[in-house]
């Protein structure tokens, strides 16, 4: 089991869980996996991005790897460019949707896919001993700002139609897509209104973007726009807003895309991959279209892994990670938005109708804890979860899991009754809080 890597790379608060030494060791360990590796490096807008980029690049070069720095660029751009430009690895310095004090390291293989758990564990084992090659073999660092243009050309080329006539509001979360996204959608013909589209790492994800779409909802209504598009800090997530200012989350986007792809004969095996968090209403809605939902563990790399093992074309998460394997091997918020808008325009329907889905009321609570594993292994919590499952009696679901990126335990309860879901989620929250405040000894319960 990985110590540093979670469900989406290595992540932590800079200066505490993640510092120069950890980033250096990560780069150096990666350099040991292949002689003279060619590595692409990118980052989001966080103020700590250059600090950690220098650290990981130094570790790579000390081990003999050659590094190309693409600067501020979305995570999926690194995935695409790593494969398209023949790099051995792609690395992104980002903490995705997390607050600005966090940062992280995501690593892609030469195929543009996130590393498997076993590969991440191998890299961690390399932290033990750093390698310094002779001076004549030290790697190089080059900056290439033209790579962004190749990624933009790729995305524009995926559009099946012009977006002329559509008025859209873009919320780029003051993150990696702040410059690229507006330019791409204008090239496709859309009228673009920007919000939170600044290169401001101090305010990345702060009250904006896919995690906080409230401002986007109001902007869509006040501007009388056709649609709103919200990305997270590294632009691998998409949350949409319809013309009435209502949120269209990843689950609903997946249903809309699945319907359209099936009608075109492009939905492989009539299967879609979701996760354990995917709403029961989504499963029921897909079943009406004779589409079956497969569930993977939470984390887009697990969704991708199941998709590719089954040869499937569509999968994703409620949070807005959506994978369209025809184009890319990882979630891409801008790509998902382009495909959604093209299908929307071709349907000649408003988004509120195009993505109409019945969703079971779902309550999600996040409880900050210091010892996730101790609490999740508690008999007290296990008994509480069992009692909630009995209360739902097959008419709903409960899921309690550790966050893969933050010191939190996540609670999800869904049923046909919002009141019941809230009550049961609050009950589990109180149990976890009590356990968190108890001593960490075996006799604490």
Helical axes 75-84 vs 333-347, angle rounded to 10°: 100
Which structural domain, as residue segments, surrounds residue 347? 150-354
pTM of the model: 0.86
Q: For residue 310, what pLDDT band results from cuts at 50, 70 and 90? A: very high
Residues in the chain: 445
pLDDT value of position 276 = 86
> Residues with catalytic annotation?
96
Q: Are 73 and 207 contained in the same domain?
A: no
Domain boundary (145, 171, 186) is at: 145
pLDDT value of position 6 = 66
Q: Residue range 241-269: average pLDDT?
A: 95
Q: Residue 410 is part of a domain; what is its CATH number?
A: 3.30.310.50
Domain boundary (110, 128, 145) is at: 145
Domain boundary (321, 354, 387) is at: 354
Q: Residue range 309-324: average pLDDT?
A: 95
CA dist 69 → 34, 78, 109, 111, 180 (Å)? 19, 10, 17, 19, 17
Q: For residue 439, what pLDDT band results from cuts at 50, 70 and 90? A: low
Q: Are 302 and 403 contained in the same domain?
A: no
Q: Are 337 and 266 contained in the same domain?
A: yes
Q: Are 48 and 103 contained in the same domain?
A: yes
Q: For residue 228, what pLDDT band results from cuts at 50, 70 and 90? A: very high
CA dist 13 → 17, 105, 212, 315, 371 (Å)? 5, 12, 21, 30, 17
Distance separating alpha carbons of residues 138 and 13, to the nearest angstrom: 30
* Mean pLDDT, all residues of the chain: 93
Q: Are 138 and 203 contained in the same domain?
A: no
Q: Are 175 and 273 contained in the same domain?
A: yes
SS3 306: helix
Q: Residue 177 is part of a domain; what is its CATH number?
A: 3.40.120.10
Is position 442 within any domain?
no
pLDDT in tens, 113-158: 988 888 888 898 889 999 999 999 999 999 999 999 999 999 999 9
Domain count, the chain: 3
Neighbour count for residue 121 (Cβ, 10 Å): 15
Q: Are 191 and 338 contained in the same domain?
A: yes
pLDDT value of position 442 = 39
Task: Give φ, ψ of 295 to 5 degrees.
Answer: -110, 130
Residue partners of 340: CB distance under 8 A and separation at least 6: 238, 240, 253, 256, 257
CA dist 438 → 375, 385, 419 (Å)? 10, 19, 29
pLDDT in tens, 317-332: 999 999 999 999 899 9
In 147-265, DSSP assigns E strands to 167-171, 191-195, 227-231, 238-241, 247-248
Residue 307: beta bridge partners? none
pLDDT value of position 10 = 85
Largest CA distance in the chain: 68
């Amino acid at each position: 089991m990985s110590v540093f890597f979670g469900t989406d790379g290595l992540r932590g608060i800079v200066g505490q869980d993640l510092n120069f030494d950890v980033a250096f060791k990560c780069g150096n360990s990666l350099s040991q996996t292949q002689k003279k590796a060619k590595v692409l490096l990118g980052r989001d807008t966080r103020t700590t991005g250059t600090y950690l980029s220098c650290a990981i690049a130094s570790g790579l070069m000390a081990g003999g790897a050659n590094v190309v720095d693409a600067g501020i660029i979305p995570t999926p751009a690194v995935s695409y460019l790593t494969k398209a430009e023949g790099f051995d690895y792609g690395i992104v310095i980002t903490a995705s949707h997390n607050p600005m004090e966090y940062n992280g390291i995501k690593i892609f293989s030469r195929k543009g896919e996130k590393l498997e758990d076993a590969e991440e564990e191998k890299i961690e084992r390399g932290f033990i001993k750093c390698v310094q090659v002779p001076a004549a073999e030290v790697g190089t660092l080059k900056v290439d700002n033209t790579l962004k243009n190749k990624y933009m050309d790729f995305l524009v080329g995926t559009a099946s139609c012009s977006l002329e006539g559509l008025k859209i509001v873009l919320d780029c979360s003051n993150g990696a897509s702040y410059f690229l996204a507006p330019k791409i959608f204008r090239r496709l013909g859309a009228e673009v209104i920007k919000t939170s589209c600044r290169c401001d790492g101090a305010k990345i994800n702060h009250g904006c973007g896919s995690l906080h779409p409230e401002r986007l909802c109001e902007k869509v209504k006040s501007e009388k726009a056709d649609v709103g598009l919200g990305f997270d800090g590294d632009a691998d997530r998409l949350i949409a807003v319809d013309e009435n200012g209502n949120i269209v989350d990843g689950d609903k986007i997946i249903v809309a895309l699945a319907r359209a792809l099936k009608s075109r004969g492009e939905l492989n095996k009539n299967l879609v991959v979701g996760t354990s968090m995917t709403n029961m209403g989504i499963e029921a809605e897909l079943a009406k279209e004779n589409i079956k939902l497969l569930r993977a563990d939470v984390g887009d790399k697990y969704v991708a892994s199941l998709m590719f093992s089954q040869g499937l074309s569509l999968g994703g998460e409620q949070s807005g990670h959506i994978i369209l394997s025809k184009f890319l091997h990882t979630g891409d918020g801008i790509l998902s938005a382009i495909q959604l808008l093209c299908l929307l325009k071709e349907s000649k329907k408003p988004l509120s109708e195009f993505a109409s889905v019945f969703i079971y009321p779902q309550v999600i609570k996040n409880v900050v804890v210091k010892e996730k594993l101790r609490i999740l292994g508690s008999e007290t919590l296990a008994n509480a979860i069992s009692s909630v499952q009995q209360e739902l009696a097959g008419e709903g679901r409960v899921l309690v899991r550790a966050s893969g990126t933050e010191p939190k335990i996540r609670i999800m309860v869904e049923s046909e009754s919002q009141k019941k879901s809230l009550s049961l989620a609050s009950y589990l929250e109180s149990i976890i809080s009590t356990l968190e405040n108890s001593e960490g000894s075996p006799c604490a319960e």
